[in-house]
Structure 1
Amino acid sequence: MNPLRIVFMGTPDIAVPTLQALIDSPHTVVGVFCQPDKPKGRGNKLQMPPTKELALEHDIPVYQPKSLRNEEAEELLESLAPDIVVVIAYGKILPPWLIHQPPLGCINLHASLLPKFRGAAPIQYAILHEESETGMTIMHMDEGLDTGDTLLMERIPVTEEDTSGTIFTALAKLGAQMIVPAVDALQSGTLTRVPQNHEEAIETGKITKEMGHLNFTEPAHTLAAKIRAFNPSPGCYTFLEGKRIKLWHAKVDPTSKYAPEHLQGACGYPKEGTIVHVDKESFSIFTGHGVLRVTEVQPENKNE
């Protein structure tokens, strides 16, 4: 089979291993599309997306249009003449004309087991929902948001130690392992398109900093999952003596004398949010159901 002409669309770190895999393949990456450079840090210096840095290292043309919904973008894609467009965390919704332009279509790598957790934050929501597994799905894009037929799906376990950061790293590697075999199979016509069951779909929205404010009337297991889901970003927080502190690591403490199984028949309960135990390595908080043992915090205005 002849090498394919591939246009790659992706912006953040999770997209880098997939781009590298395509660069290392027999196929030709004829262009990389990513979001515009953005100011970062105290000096507000413009910083290139990591996919742009990788593309430039390999002398691949980089395009950073503010919009794909204009004649200029359409003419650009036509001039690149891709056989297929590969998308992972690009950050823009593709217009219908682009989805239908390449002969082999546009395929998207999505960091969940579709139809679960469509949308902007699939990794965080898998942990928030306390899923025992997640994975990477490659789908044939249609005009909906993560609604296209699935082509390939691989799973990984989610443990109680995993955070969004660890799952992010694992799925970035997994996507890179999946992409070239998927492109090859699509070219040879050996991939089966499987329609999603839309009735089983779970949508995810954008994660905001405000969502990290912990409500201790919630159960301890829910709070522990949220802390893992929002690590490393945006982080979970509470207030102690008027100062914000971030909580980076916590687990349910079933051994506490304030655990539900030890409180049966008790006359009174601490108020939710009360610190019920402190030692050199941790402190424990009474919650709406169970006790949360916190082992890693970051005080306000402290780097660690």
Structure 2
Amino acid sequence: MLRETPHEVVLLGLSDAWRDRRASTRRHLARSGPRILPWLFAEFAAPRLLRGNGAVGPLGAAALERRVPPTTTASVNSAATQGMLEALRPDLIVTCHFDQILAPATIATARLGGINLHPSLLPLHRGPMPCFWAAADGGNAHLGVTVHRLVPRIDAGAILAQRAVQPLVGATVSATARQLHLVGAELLLQVIEDIADGRDLGRDVPLLPYRPFPTRVDLAAAAKRGVRLTGWADLRAARALGGTLL
């Protein structure tokens, strides 16, 4: 998407996934048990660890082409980050696979607010692992992506666009998430053009319950039904996507 958009990109911000890794790992283990560890590794650690020193992934290469070096932030709502955004004066904030909640003051630094890509058909499966819950709830029967307005509540803003997606047969949760983000990138580009042209047709929908990280019981029950969180192919994909700039 970074390559395809015709609009100027003034900042590429990355959330520091390592900012509290020990504390967050302990929390995940306490709630989800050891079954969650391979998924956490594939999603967060593998993209950095499975490539050689100096390697540049697709995001890093696109950033170099656009001459917008990635900026990693441990707190998107810090005074430093807000000051940087205020100086750059962006028209629109776009988030994707970003694990921090933007405060109202942060969103307000952009003239047109912000939008987010979420890999579910909202209001279904709000939360950090929507692809798991889609599989656990009904075999991916309600699989898709949503672009919605950023608000200071997780996956709760007005819906701007949605697209249903046919799941890949036998795909892991990680593979399904990659598939949805690829489809979602196209949807994001469409929504950005709609907003640029003054077409903002967001619609509010009643919120459904937030779906947090699964418990040990949730993961065990899903495994019995054949739901796989991740596999070797996902680690290879993480290696291909990773790099020192990610």
The normalised TM-score by structure 2 is 0.71
CA change 1:25–1:49 in 2 (3 A) is closer
Unaligned residue ranges in structure 1 (runs of 5+): 1-20, 236-304
For the aligned residues, what is the CA RMSD? 3.2
- Give secondary structure in 1 for the equivalent of 2:10: strand
Which protein is richer in strand relative to its size? 1
Q: Distance in 1 between matches of 2:219 and 2:193?
A: 46
Count of paired positions:
204
Separation in structure 1 between the aligned mates of residue 141 and residue 69 of structure 2, nearest angstrom? 40
Gap runs ≥5 in structure 2: 19-44, 235-246
**How far off is 1:120 after superposition?**
0.5
Q: Per-residue CA shift, 1:233-262, capped at 9, x if unaligned? A: 9x9xxxxxxxxxxxxxxxxxxxxxxxxxxx
SS in 2 for 1:193: coil
Structure 2 counterparts to residues 154-173 of structure 1, below 5 A: 154-158=163-167, 161-173=170-182
Q: How far did residue 207 of structure 1 move?
A: 4.9
Residues 126 and 211 in structure 2, CA contact (< 8 A), matched pair in contact too:
yes
Amino acid at match of 1:226: V
Which runs of 4 or more aligned residues in structure 1 lie more than 4 Å from their structure 2 counterparts after TM superposition? Answer: 37-42, 45-50, 210-213
Counterpart residue identity of residue 3, structure 2: I
Aligned twin of 1:25? 5
Q: Distance in 2 between matches of 1:134 and 1:213?
A: 19
Offset at residue 122 of structure 1 (A): 0.7
CA distance, structure 1, for counterparts of residue 164 and residue 202 of structure 2: 18
1:1-304 maps to which residues of 2 (within 5 A)? 21-36=1-16, 41=49, 51-52=59-60, 54-130=62-138, 131-158=140-167, 161-198=170-207, 201-207=208-214, 210=216, 214=220, 223-227=224-228, 230-232=229-231
Distance in 2 (CA, whole Å) between partners of 1:213 and 1:112 is 19
Q: Distance in 2 between matches of 1:212 and 1:125?
A: 9
Q: Deviations over 1:179-219 (max 9, x none)?
A: 12111111222231110212xx14222257x56864xxx6x
Could you tell me whether the CA contact under 8 Å between 2:3 and 2:62 is conserved in 1? no
* The structure with more radius of gyration: 1
Shift of 1:133: 2.9
Query: Could you list the per-position Cα deviations for residues 132-182 of structure 1 after superposition, in whole angstroms to 9, with x for gaps in the alignment?
Result: 131110001112111100000000123652321332232122112111211
Shift of 1:66: 1.5
Instruction: After superposition, give the CA deviation of every residue in 1:23-67 in whole Å (9 maximum; x if it has no partner).
Output: 32210111100023757659xx89988644542354213211211
Deviates more, 1:126-135 or 1:157-166: 157-166
Distance in structure 1 (CA, Å) of the matches to 2:129 and 2:227: 13
TM-score, normalised relative to structure 1 = 0.58
